[in-house]
Amino acid sequence: MSPWTFILDHRGEILSATLDHFTLVVIAMAIAILIGVPLGMFIVQRPTLRTIALGIASIFQTIPSLALFGFLIPIPFIGGIGKRTAVVALVLYALLPILRNTYVGLTGIDPAVLESAEAMGMTRSQILFRVRLPLALAVILAGIRTATIITIGVATIAAAIGAGGLGTFIFRGVALVSDALILAGAIPAALLALIADFLLGLLERRLRIS
Amino acid sequence: MNAKPASISENLIEFRDVAYHINDIPTRMIVSDISLRIPRGETLVLLGRSGSGKTTLLKLINGMLLPPKGVVLVQNCATTEWNPIRLRRGIGYVIQEAGLFPHFTVAENVALVPTLENWDAPRTAARVQEMLHLVGLDPRDFAHRLPRELSGGQRQRVGVARALAADPPILLMDEPFGALDPVTRAELQREFSALVRRLDKTIVFVTHDLREALLLASRIVLLQAGRIVASATPQEFLRLDHAEVRAFTSSLSVSPGAFV
């Protein structure tokens, strides 16, 4: 059976696996953004905490994904086999680009702009919300874009710990030496990453100033 | 009533024996022994070489720096007693690269302080129009542009309009024309000196350009290594017998043999 007829015959299952995959990524990204962006804002004025937070996030990013899943499984409450462990691992992976870009975006602003904002009598929170954040938005979004691409990729491996998604086809295909099964997972996963990259890139360019 | 009537010679800004140094290291003085009275309506030019402490004095006025020694009074109240936000909303500030907000249009930049002060929309809009006309920019042409769509000279005009928008009694200017090409700089200096005469503002203007100081100042204060070494009207200044004054006046003239 050719891969194309296989994919056509199983389009229902592939579609639902794609949806599972997408949901996993969206949940993980939502949590990572909710943690990463406020944390990035928080560490701007706190050098010690900044070193610690960026250091820890880099460590998670460096651990190979399959190993990270392995480490998480024995941990009570967050660990075990299934989606929850996968989401935790994906969040840890997505955190560094979001955190780093939020920090870089907020601090990489023309000092003359910040100086005149302060001299005009803007309060610290007015400077943060009306000057720093709007000017950092494109850089923060670039971090979110990178994190999304990483998360879509790592989420395929999450199938190894029973999280479902498109990785299920790939792992089963490798085990059964079936090109058709592998492609049924690989093609939609690749498309998902390309489409996400394109759309977020479009948004990023619209937000970029200068 | 025990309130004293405001007299013409009322000091709007006063430095009383002020010193400022970095990070509690008194040996690394930036400015010291500064005593200075700036009456209402004066255009005081702080002249000096780079690193002589000019910008430090400006930042001591609007409370971006607080003096570890001595006191800086603005409208008879020490900067340490002022609410820094209230103090700064009453002081216009123009810096070299203008520091316009790149994500705000020209109109939004000029409207900044009125907006922070919660002026209603029609009053703010009218004020923006008035300010843009004042600095020689046609609002129909410029109001909706972003700073990146302006030339250096136009950006600096917007910077002046923004500083004047909420009608502050005091204007601080830190080498506002320093980054412009010589032709544009001369043009803005001429227009600004005419503007200064029309507006009833107390201005403290920082520059290292004696020509600019002579053109704009009602009084020139010369700084050297963080100390005031001379204070004079432009006419008197050129006749002062002080090494640093001569260093500046000699920078004005071109020696006859220079271009042979």
Residue pLDDT, tens place only, A56-81 = 999 998 999 888 888 888 888 777 88
CA of B97 vs chain A CAs: smallest distance (Å)? 7
Instruction: Verify whether the Cβ–Cβ distance B172 to A116 is below 8 Å.
Output: no
Instruction: Specify the amino acid at residue A128.
Output: L
**Tens-digit pLDDT profile for residues B78-116:** 999 999 999 999 999 999 888 999 999 999 999 999 999
Contact B100, B155 (CB under 8 A): yes
Average pLDDT, chain A: 92
d(C-alpha B220, C-alpha B237), whole Å:
7
pLDDT value at B24 more than 90: no
**Domain boundary assignment for chain A:** 3-207
- Sort residue B16 into left (φ over 0), alpha (ψ -120 to 50) or beta: beta
Q: How confident is the model at residue B2 (pLDDT cuts 50, 70, 90)?
A: very low
Q: Which residues of A touch B96 (CB under 8 A)?
A: 112
DSSP for B103-158 reads TS-HHHHHTHHHHHTT--HHHHHHHHHHHHHHTT--HHHHTT--GGGS-HHHHHHH
Question: Can you read off the two tokens belonging to residue A125?
Answer: 């929170």
Architecture of the structural domain at A3-207: Orthogonal Bundle (1.10)
Give the CA distances from residue A41 to residues A31, A123, A203, in Å, rounded to whole numbers and listed in that order. 16, 16, 21
Number of domains in chain B: 1
d(C-alpha A32, C-alpha A30), whole Å:
6
Question: Can you read off the two tokens belonging to residue A113?
Answer: 């702009």
Domain assignment of residue B44, yes or no: no
Interface of A with B in 130-149 (CB under 8 A): 131, 134-135
Domain assignment of residue B242, yes or no: no
**Contact A122/B at CB under 8 A:** yes
pLDDT recorded at residue B259: 56
pLDDT recorded at residue B7: 47
**Tens-digit pLDDT profile for residues B186-234:** 999 999 999 888 888 999 999 999 999 999 999 999 999 999 999 999 9
- CA angle, residues B8, B14, B20, in degrees to nearest 5: 165
Domain assignment of residue B196, yes or no: no
Comparing C-alpha atoms, which of A142, A167, A13, A182 is closest to residue A89?
Answer: A167
Mean pLDDT of B112-141: 95
Domain assignment of residue B152, yes or no: yes
Domain assignment of residue B135, yes or no: yes
d(C-alpha B57, C-alpha B67), whole Å:
10
Question: Can you read off the two tokens belonging to residue A103?
Answer: 């920090």
Q: How confident is the model at residue B61 (pLDDT cuts 50, 70, 90)?
A: very high
Higher pLDDT, A82 or A50: A50
Interface of B with A in 71-90 (CB under 8 A): 84-89
CA of A115 vs chain B CAs: smallest distance (Å)? 7
Domain assignment of residue B255, yes or no: no
d(C-alpha B99, C-alpha A114), whole Å:
8
Domain assignment of residue B123, yes or no: yes
Residue B166, classed as helix, strand or coil, is coil
Those residues whose C-beta lies under 8 Å from the C-beta of residue A24, and which sit 6 or more positions away, are A83, A86, A87, A90, A155, A158, A163, A164, A165
Provide the domain limits for residue B134: 101-168
Query: What is the percent of chain B where pLDDT is above 90?
Result: 72
The counts of H helices and E strands in chain B are: 11, 10
